[in-house]
A = this chain, B = another copy of it.
Amino acid sequence: MKSTSFKNHISVDCVIFGYNEEENKLEVLLIEQKEPSQNSSHPYVPQFALPGDLVNEEESLDDAAVRVLKELTHVEGLHLRQFFSFGDPMRVKQEKDIEWLKFYRSDPDARVITVSYYTLVRKEMINPEPGSFAKNVVWRNIKRVPPLAFDHNQIVKKATEDIKDRIYQNHIAHQLLPKKFTLRQLQNLYEVVLNTEFDKRNFVKRIKKDEELIPLAEKQKGVMHKPAQLYSFKMKKKK
């Protein structure tokens, strides 16, 4: 009558999108896994992976995501959004991952269900440094994500789709631009996230419905063309 008693590991994985304004690119934060001890009989090829790890006892999923991100990358203070859970029994059974699991998990054969989170942040606002089993942290263009550990490529893909659906909500640009910015900077951000291009006149008309843009008594300096007007945001009440 009682339910069978096997249990699972629960992990969280974080997809941190970094907005690289200089090059107008979206990048994703990856860790490079530390190599297990080389005593193993199997060859080990270090892999890139999303920052993610097991959830602790008595810790909420949201809290775990924040903690794990901090432990592996020393990045904190971000608002992470849960978007999907991945639980295919085979997701931790691939050849490429078993050596790593053997070394880092007391029960390497255990099934792991992962709850995934993402956020979008201005790349230079965070300064990731490797921690825990991360040998290194790297940014990679989302258009050229390398093969990742486990099913992390699939997770990145789903996060990318999800963020597009939500960009026009929640004033996503507020954290991603400097306090003073030009309309071109704002447009670049939307274009790179949505992977498209807009007519600049039409773009401003649309964006002004969602954002109140305050023109400042200040202009761009040192550019080899007509200097752009600077703006700042004012929070608009939601409709």
**A residues bordering B, Cβ < 8 Å?**
1-10, 53-61, 82, 84-85, 87-89, 103-107, 110-111, 113, 115
Contacts and interface: CB of A to CB of B under 8 A. Distances in A.
Given A4-B57, A60-B89, A87-B115, 4 more contacts: A5-B107, A6-B57, A7-B9, A113-B115
A106 B2 contact: yes
Given A57-B111, A60-B87, A85-B82, A7 B8 contact: yes
20 contacts: A1-B103, A2-B104, A2-B105, A3-B106, A4-B54, A5-B106, A5-B107, A7-B107, A7-B110, A8-B9, A8-B10, A10-B87, A55-B87, A55-B113, A59-B89, A61-B85, A61-B87, A61-B113, A82-B85, A113-B113
A102 to B, nearest CB: 10
Contacts of A56: 4
